[in-house]
């Protein structure tokens, strides 16, 4: 609890943040980047979720690794 005031100003400031999934992510998962939510409604594999700031949405890219 003591660290909340220290860390809170640093949350959601990196608009270049992303989430990479190398395995499988299933429906029902909620991803949020900079207060923009994304509800997973299908199975994703090897996917990067990133913020498209101008459109205010999370978009996905296939990872070819």
Q: What percent of the chain clears pLDDT 90, i.e. is strictly above it?
A: 63
pLDDT digits (tens, 9 = 90+) for 6-19: 877 777 778 888 99
The predicted structure's pLDDT at residue 11: 73
Pairing of strands 57-62, 36-39: unpaired
Give me the percent of the chain exceeding a pLDDT of 70. Answer: 98
Closest CA to 32 of 44, 19, 45: 19
Look at residues 46, 45, 43 and name the one whose alpha carbon lies nearest to residue 28: 43
What's the length of the chain? 65
């Amino acid at each position: 609890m003591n660290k909340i005031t220290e860390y809170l100003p640093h949350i959601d400031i990196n608009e270049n943040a992303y989430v990479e999934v190398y395995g499988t992510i299933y429906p029902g998962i909620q991803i949020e980047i900079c207060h923009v939510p994304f509800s997973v409604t299908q199975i994703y594999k090897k996917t990067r979720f990133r913020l498209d700031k101008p459109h205010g949405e999370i978009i996905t890219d296939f990872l070819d690794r």
